[in-house]
Amino acid sequence: MRTLAFACVVALAPTFAWADGSEMLGNPTIPIANGNIVMAAGTGMQNGPGLIQIDLPAADIVQVIAYWSGAELGPMLGDDSIQIAGVDVFGKSIGGPTFFFTCPAGCGPTAGDFYYSAFRADVTDLGLLAPGSNTLEVTGVDFFAERSGVGLLVILDDGTGPGVVRVRDGLDLAFLPFRAPLDTTVPQTFTFAPAPFDRTGQLTIFAGSVGDDARTSAIDVVVGSTTTTFDNPLGSNDGPLWDTTVLSFPIAAGATEVVAQ
């Protein structure tokens, strides 16, 4: 059984209120390395500094990409620089600032219009990670209204054969009661060459601003005529307010496309 890896970087905010671009994910404007293993980990940053913990196999680390998001009060871009393991990381805006909701007076100092932004940085050359156990402290995430979190997407190659890696990133905000286009995310289509055997797909998602309360989430993955629905996979699993979620699903022989939403 072979695995195809797909990565979506998406910030969801099911509260009152992440394409390289806003309100739609897209192809990254940086090259994505070839590899046959994709791993990811993250940390919520709402309550201050966080730790990213990730165990990597004995394989070549070919690319490491950092993502982060948060919100400001007003149409400001947000914090484009953070620190990982004490190293300054400077990101490129990949979406926002996008207005999402107004927090009422009861929100205290964060009352006002929440505008979200998302950022990306290729940190491969910083040498932050190695095979084995890794723990990295993350600091300097300085959004005022909300500090959603930080994630690391890691592409590896263990030399056992070619893999398929597809990435979409950006800012796509969604909360079902809101009016379009903020009521749902935009479907993402990943294409690949067919194979005469069954395979397994692996969808890796970074999501910010999903609380750990009773609010629900769902992710649909469509392969041909088969839809796999993942119920409630998000809920600040990395601590407030960040999720790193890996979902596995079957890809039948002959399939050439996966649609995720």
Per-residue pLDDT reduced to its tens digit, 53-77 = 999 999 999 999 999 999 999 999 9
Per-residue pLDDT reduced to its tens digit, 199-210 = 999 999 999 988
Q: List beta partners, residue 68.
A: 119, 150
pLDDT band at 17 (very low <50, low <70, confident <90, very high): very low
pLDDT at 13 over 80: no
pLDDT band at 161 (very low <50, low <70, confident <90, very high): confident
Q: List beta partners, residue 133.
A: 55
3-class SS at 174? Answer: coil
pLDDT at 21 over 90: no
Give me the pLDDT at residue 181, please.
83
More confident residue, 177 or 41: 41
| Closest C-alpha to 206, from 180, 178, 241 | 241
More confident residue, 157 or 181: 157
- The Cα–Cα gap between 186 and 224 comes to 18
Question: Are the CB atoms for 107 and 34 separated by under 8 Å?
Answer: no
Q: What is the set of domains in the chain, with CATH numbers?
A: 2-260 (2.60.120.1200)
